[in-house]
Every structure is written in structure tokens, then in C-alpha cells.
Amino acid sequence: MGCAEEVFEIHYYLEDYSHAMNAGVRNKCEAELLVIFQEVCSSLGFDVSVETTAYSEGGLRECWQFLSREAVPIGVILAILSSLISIATTVLSRIPISDVDKEAREKEIQELTIVEKKLAVEEKRLILKKLSKEIEEGKVQKETIAKTAKAIEKNHKIQTRKSNFFKSLNSYNKVTAVGFTTLNKNKSPLEEEVFIARSEFSKFVLINNELPAEVVEGAIIEIVAPVLREGNYKWKGIFKGKPISFWMSDPEYKDQVLNRLVSFQRGNSIECVLHINKKVTDIGELEISGYSVKNVLGFFNETGFVETPLGKKYRTGKKFEKSQLTLFDKGTDVDT
């Protein structure tokens, strides 16, 4: 296992020129940073571990050195680790949009979801391919590092852990600022320190952990337990072989059920527009927070499929949208 000469320094600036920090806060901050580094390494496909070295004063300085199991020349290892440090520093220093601006925050969350799906497939692949090529050539460009950091940062776990890091520091008044930099083997800076003042900490903290709902059109749900009375109760059903509890949010269909215009027998199902609500947990994992049926398009009974009035209207609207898009596409082709 090879060890890089560069080290990554986290510098906690403390009030009254103190050199002591609450161990619980520091350990939590270290845990969050370690997850960020693990995610960065995982995204790049590198097997790198971190060792901490002796602390030094000047506030409180914590240094990490990197070990790699990669079967490549030491020069390439140094380039990889140097890049990882720079990328991680860039990731840590990027400020997300404030949750105070709700509309902007919702847009950011939507972009995170879209980018993670699309970037992971093609754009991210191309960026990482470019980084890998530059590492092999021993000439990693700053622009490539910045693009890689921006791509990797869209990872929900990195977003959440970075938020947790600054949230912990923000609740601990003794820390007046935090800095990140890369040092050589003699502990001299290789680049300018990324300095973040306490007044900026809250800008890194994410408040809204809800993600845009995943919309499944034409979802088939087998009804296990409908709600046949007034009240705020969840229905129970089976979706894709798994039991779910969901809100019936189609008022017309609910009225039909309450007025006994729709009967249920074992095995009856509905076709619907299903919204699957998701959120990001405190550790950055995605989890389903609930299901909601927005529109019932039709239902299956002993005689077959029965389309609802809303379902007919919904399908007509979709056909119209599709025809409009087709006309637009044809018009675009003619113009070009």
C-alpha cells in the first residue's frame, strides 16, 4: 500500500486563540468529512483509505494522509490523491442555494434529481474519463477538477453530509471559521487555503429534504383495503408485488366509492397516476416517504376494465400534448 506525500488539512479557527475543541463536535465533523471522501473515491472508482496524523495548534489543525491499494506507479497515485484532495476541497467550498428562497430551492432539488440520473449515465462518464486520461498523462487541469467536483457534488449523500458538517459547526460557537488546504510532506501549503467564515456556515445547511415526487402514469394497484367512510385514512394495496399504504387524492373517485357507486371484490385493481414521494435521510440515503393516487384513470372488476370520466379526459389531454409535440418537431425539422 502506497502513501502519498500530500496531506489534507482541516483548520478549525477557534475564538480567544484557543487550541482545544469539543471532542464530540470534532468527531462528528470528522465522520461527515470521511463519508464525503469515501463517496468521492467511490465515484471515481479509487480504493483509497485515510489516516489521521498528529494535531497541531493555530486554532486546531487536523491532517489526513492517504493510502492507496491501486496497482499503479507511485507518480500516478500522487496525481490521483492530489486530484481527490482538490476535488474534495472544491466540493466542500461550494455553497448551495439557500432554503429561504423556496422556489429556488425546489428548482435546485429538481436539478439534483435530474442531474443524478442523466449525469451518471453520460456526462459524468465523460468527465471521469477525461480526468482519468489527464491523471495518466500527469497533467490534471484545474477546469477538469472543477467539473468533476461539480458532477460528484450532485450526489445526495455528499450534499447531506456536507450540510451535517456545517450544521455541527454552526451550533458550536467556539469555531469562528474553517479552512481546507493541501500541504506537502513538510506541511507547507501547496495551494491557497479555502477559508469559510462562521457567517457563511448556515448557507451550506440544507433545510428541505423532500425530493420531487416520482410520477408513475398508468400504475396498476391491486386494492386490498379501500376506505369506505369519511375521514383521513390511507388505503392499502399492492403495487409491483409489494404492499403499500397510499392516500386516495382523487376526489371524484372517492365520492363514487363513498356513494357505493364502485364496489370492490378480491383482486380488483385500479389504473392510476401514482405519485411516489421521496426524501433524503440525515445520512444522505434516499427513502420513500409516501404514496398518493392523484388520478384514477379506470378500474378493473369482474366484467373487465372501466374507464373513469377523468381517465378519458386525462388520456385525451395526453394525446393532444403528444400531437402538439409531433407538430413542433416536424416544424423544427423543416426550419433546419
Single-letter code of the amino acid located at 310: L
Which of 219, 215, 242, 216 minimizes the C-alpha distance to 299?
A: 219
- Segment 93-144, tens digit of pLDDT: 766 654 445 555 555 555 555 545 554 567 778 888 888 888 888 788 888 8
Place of cell 494522509: 65
Cα-atom radius of gyration of the chain, to the nearest Å?
Answer: 27
Q: Among all chains, which residue has been given the C-alpha cell 491499494? A: 69
Instruction: Tell me which residue of 95, 80, 89 sits closest to 10, measured CA to CA.
Output: 89
pLDDT, averaged across the chain: 79
pLDDT interval class at 73 (50, 70, 90): very low
Closest CA to 233 of 255, 214, 249, 221: 249
- Per-residue confidence (pLDDT) for residue 291, from 0 to 100: 96
pLDDT of the residue at 239: 96
Stretch 257-266: mean pLDDT, rounded? 83
Query: What pTM does this model have?
Result: 0.69
DSSP class of residue 119? Answer: I
How much is the pLDDT for 111? 53
Write out pLDDT tens, residues 171-225. 999 999 998 888 877 778 877 888 889 998 888 888 777 777 888 989 999 999 9
Classify residue 187 by its DSSP letter: S
Sign of CA dihedral 175, 177, 180, 186: negative
d(CA 222, CA 237): 5
Q: Label residue 307 by pLDDT band (50, 70, 90).
A: confident
